[in-house]
Amino acid sequence: MEELSQHILDIAFNSLEAGATELTISVWEDIKHNLLQFEVLDNGRGITAEDITKILDPFYTTKSFKRVGLGVPLLQEAVDRCGGNLKIKALPPGGTSVTATFPHDHLDRAPLGDITGTLITLITGHRQLNLVYRHRYNRQTFIFETRQLKTLLRGIPLHTPEVLVWLKNYLNLKIIDLRRETNEEFGRAG
């Protein structure tokens, strides 16, 4: 995979396959501390310590355990390539968090890439999903929540292609803005 946002999509897709209905995707970029971190947090079936070892093994493939696949080993490889760090944690009430940390300026760090495409794809394929996206760039934060958007739509389905294309442009704009350090939170002016 060429982009971290593809890894994020893959990990999040696994969460949804594990029955998650709530997903929080966070990206932190801290230039001063040379840090790029992302976290995918879900309320799916959760994971055992034993399974955590297994999902890191690319040769472990059992169809009964949906989180297994090439995805996590590939992410591990992307992390190792630039001296980063990967943590997979079971959350007490059920659910899992996957956190990957990278040196921001490392030449072998994959770019974040098309994060908007990742979010749109998740939303398009999963009607019941409540998604929260949080992106912090230095001291600016952008937050997007599908719940809020659904309220603004007042009954128009979020899955209408026109709405999703609007959303794609909106997210692109907001994420570019974030890097320009001018920011408003989603929905504040709405």
- Residues contributing to the site for another protein (CB under 8 A): 1, 6, 9-10, 13, 17, 66, 69-71, 74, 114, 117-118, 120-121, 124-126, 152-157, 159-166, 168-170, 173, 184, 187-190
CB of 33 to another protein, least distance (A): 30
CB < 8 Å & 24+ apart, contacts of 55-63: 55/88, 56/88
Q: How far apart are CA 3 and CA 37, in angstroms?
A: 14
Nearer to another protein by C-beta: 91 or 158?
A: 158
Q: Is 82 exposed, middle or buried (0-12, 13-18, 19+ CB in 10 A)?
A: middle
Q: How far apart are CA 82 and CA 85, in angstroms?
A: 9
Nearer to another protein by C-beta: 46 or 71?
A: 71
Instruction: For residue 61, give the 3-state DSSP assignment.
Output: coil
Nearer to another protein by C-beta: 106 or 168?
A: 168
CB of 173 to another protein, least distance (A): 6
Q: How far apart are CA 88 and CA 23, in angstroms?
A: 15
Nearer to another protein by C-beta: 66 or 104?
A: 66
CB of 13 to another protein, least distance (A): 6
Strands in 32-188 per DSSP E: 35-42, 85-90, 96-103, 130-137, 140-145
CB of 154 to another protein, least distance (A): 7
Nearer to another protein by C-beta: 63 or 139?
A: 63
CB of 155 to another protein, least distance (A): 8
Nearer to another protein by C-beta: 1 or 91?
A: 1
Q: Is 151 exposed, middle or buried (0-12, 13-18, 19+ CB in 10 A)?
A: exposed
CB of 89 to another protein, least distance (A): 21
